[in-house]
Structure 1
Amino acid sequence: MLLNNKISIRFYIRHILKQAFLIFLFANLVVISKWFIPWSFQIPISIAAILGTCIALLLAFRTNQAYDRWWEARIAWGAIVNDSRSFIRQLQTFLPVDTNHKTYLHPFVERQCAWCYVLGDTLRRQPVSQRLEEFLPSQEAKQVADAHNPPNMLLVKHALAIRRLYDEALITDYQLVQLNATLTNLTDSMGRCERIKNTVFPRTYTFNMQVFIYLFASILPFCFDDQYYYLDVPLVTLISAAFILIEKSAIQLQDPFENQPTDTPVTTIARSIEISLKSMTGYTIIPELLVPERYYSL
């Protein structure tokens, strides 16, 4: 996630450098041809203005739709924060006072921390084995890592452990229902993130937008008078690059789990959850908050 800090200009340039360079070359070609091949062909500037207005409206719609996907992912992870804290707090409250927390409560804390990290890594298509070994016994970590859906398997482990608490009469019927409801909320949030990850944003949006932008960039050099030829190249390049940059920003926002600076900061959120849960349950060693990069956090 981009932070409210000064963003490196390289972050912008590297995403549009290739396209801007091609437009720059094309604009130079048109200007040079005007110098050496006198012609009277000129496109009315009103055509470029109308096309530019249409592109601006389409970009606004596209960016809004992309931001909605990014914001939905952030809402889902906000719910994960709340439900993770609620889940451990419920267990902490429901278990008898004289219960050994290291035996009954801490395994839930470790498993929930692992679930948060593993969910984020799975969404980003990152390996999860090492992450699981940090929180779970080796045999359980291997079993979860080999599962088709590791985050879902961790929730299954939660449910089975809750059932054992019920069988040992450590929680009541009502408490069992409450804990299962919280697990259902975590499952819903996981499903929302998976839906965003697995639902491809319509490719026609990108294709049509790029066609319009490049059409605009190819028309614009022919709209200037010959006496203003020195304005053709910088104006065409800058205006077209601005459109391309907005379109690229929308592409990045529409995919919030790609391990990029514009991602939803799932790893940072998972670390925050780990700190909260371990602080709540009497851990002596509490991890530090992750230090963000200069202008973003992951």
Structure 2
Amino acid sequence: MVEYNPKSWLNLLFHSYSRYVFRRLLPALIYVTVYTSLITYVFYELNIDFVSTTSVHSILGIVLGFFLVFRTNGAYDRWWEGRKVWGELVNETRNMALKFSVMVPLDHPMRVYITECISAYPTALKEHLREGVPTDMAKEMVEKLKMDDLYHIPNAIAKKLFTITNQFKKENTIDPEQYRVLDEQLTALTNITGKCERIRNTPIPYSYSMFMKKFIFTFIATLPFAFVTVYHYWTILIVVLILYILMSIELLAEEIEDPFGSDINDLPTDMLAVKIGKNVSEIMG
């Protein structure tokens, strides 16, 4: 995620992300430039008798604008919900560490292990939500935390914490009321994972995404015919500029609809995982 000053207009206008978007869209911009140039050349140089009108595309542009607004809002809602869920993770891990730190005696040998488990959870979760926890990292966590070698590493860590809490109850390290409180806290942790997986594994409906791209393609493919007899060779610049604007919005929506990745606009899960680890270590002492 990019950290920036929203009040600095110049930095925003010339930020490197603009160059990144331009590089991503460059092939499409080149194709459309060639396509529009050929149409303009044929109509202008051969003096073809054709009456163009922009009224149809003006109406279609309004409809397309509504579609893009809905598309962007839908993607942003997923991004913002993901941020709220990770905010819950920050709070729940702090609360869990606070309760363990008070309920478990300072000289108990499991305090350090509990700290390592809670600190490892957000790191395992962020990798799980990307391409899955890397094999090397998963193996290291399994060996370090002495937990079951499960495919779902966050579940393996949560299971270990549940096991420890249940053991504390049997040993009378904590009383039944404290056990209930810790059980609710651990349940909240797994609920957060489920919320993240719901966002990650439920993309925008295929048909909507497909027809959105088809709509943009059709609009751009027919746009030169509306402008060519009025703007002549300026049509090339106008069509390419409109394509850049429309596809930039679609590209942004594609990035933020999966907020747990490593794209420039995705959530700062790496930073949050480190932050949680530091907070937990500080709380547990």
Query: TM-score by structure 2 length?
Result: 0.90
Residue 154 of structure 1 and its aligned partner are, at CA, apart by 0.8
Letter in 1 for 2:117: R
Letter in 2 for 1:278: S
Q: In structure 2, what is the equivalent of residue 279 of structure 1?
A: 282
Question: Are 1:208 and 2:211 matched, yes or no?
Answer: yes
Residue 256 of structure 1 and its aligned partner are, at CA, apart by 1.4
State whether residues 111 and 135 of structure 1, in contact with CA within 8 Å, keep that contact through their aligned partners in structure 2. Answer: no
State whether residues 51 and 229 of structure 2, in contact with CA within 8 Å, keep that contact through their aligned partners in structure 1. Answer: no
Q: Distance in 2 between matches of 1:153 and 1:127?
A: 12
Aligned residue among 136, 161, 166 for 1:163: 166
Superposed CA offset, 1:191-224 (max 9, x none): 0001111112212222111111122112221122
Query: TM-score by structure 1 length?
Result: 0.87
Q: In structure 2, what is the equivalent of residue 291 of structure 1?
A: none
Aligned residue among 76, 88, 100 for 1:79: 88
Aligned residue among 86, 97, 107 for 1:100: 107
Mapping of 1:129-208 within 5 angstroms? 129-131=135-137, 137-138=143-144, 140=146, 143=148, 146-208=149-211
User: Structure 1 vs Structure 2: percent identity of aligned residues?
Assistant: 30
Residue 11 of structure 1 and its aligned partner are, at CA, apart by 1.8
Q: Distance in 2 between matches of 1:17 and 1:133?
A: 41
Residue 259 of structure 1 and its aligned partner are, at CA, apart by 2.2
> Alpha carbons of 1:135 and 1:207: their partners in 2 closer, same or farther (altered >3 Å)?
closer
Residue 227 of structure 1 and its aligned partner are, at CA, apart by 5.8
Q: In structure 2, what is the equivalent of residue 2 of structure 1?
A: 2
Aligned residue among 49, 52, 60 for 1:40: 49
CA RMSD, 1 decimal = 1.9
Letter in 1 for 2:54: I
Q: In structure 1, what is the equivalent of residue 235 of structure 2?
A: 232
Q: Distance in 2 between matches of 1:266 and 1:215?
A: 38
Aligned residue among 14, 31, 34 for 1:25: 34
> Alpha carbons of 1:196 and 1:185: their partners in 2 closer, same or farther (altered >3 Å)?
same
State whether residues 114 and 131 of structure 1, in contact with CA within 8 Å, keep that contact through their aligned partners in structure 2. Answer: no
State whether residues 109 and 277 of structure 1, in contact with CA within 8 Å, keep that contact through their aligned partners in structure 2. Answer: yes
Question: Are 1:117 and 2:126 matched, yes or no?
Answer: no
Residue 62 of structure 1 and its aligned partner are, at CA, apart by 0.6
Superposed CA offset, 1:139-184 (max 9, x none): 726x3xx313111111000000011111111101000000010111
Residue 3 of structure 1 and its aligned partner are, at CA, apart by 2.4
Q: Distance in 2 between matches of 1:149 and 1:35?
A: 63
Letter in 1 for 2:41: I
> Alpha carbons of 1:72 and 1:268: their partners in 2 closer, same or farther (altered >3 Å)?
same
Q: Distance in 1 between matches of 2:251 and 2:145?
A: 44
Question: Are 1:253 and 2:247 matched, yes or no?
Answer: no
Q: In structure 1, what is the equivalent of residue 8 of structure 2?
A: none
Letter in 2 for 1:231: W
Residue 121 of structure 1 and its aligned partner are, at CA, apart by 0.5
Q: In structure 2, what is the equivalent of residue 59 of structure 1?
A: 68
State whether residues 43 and 219 of structure 1, in contact with CA within 8 Å, keep that contact through their aligned partners in structure 2. Answer: no
> Alpha carbons of 1:94 and 1:139: their partners in 2 closer, same or farther (altered >3 Å)?
closer
Residue 276 of structure 1 and its aligned partner are, at CA, apart by 0.7
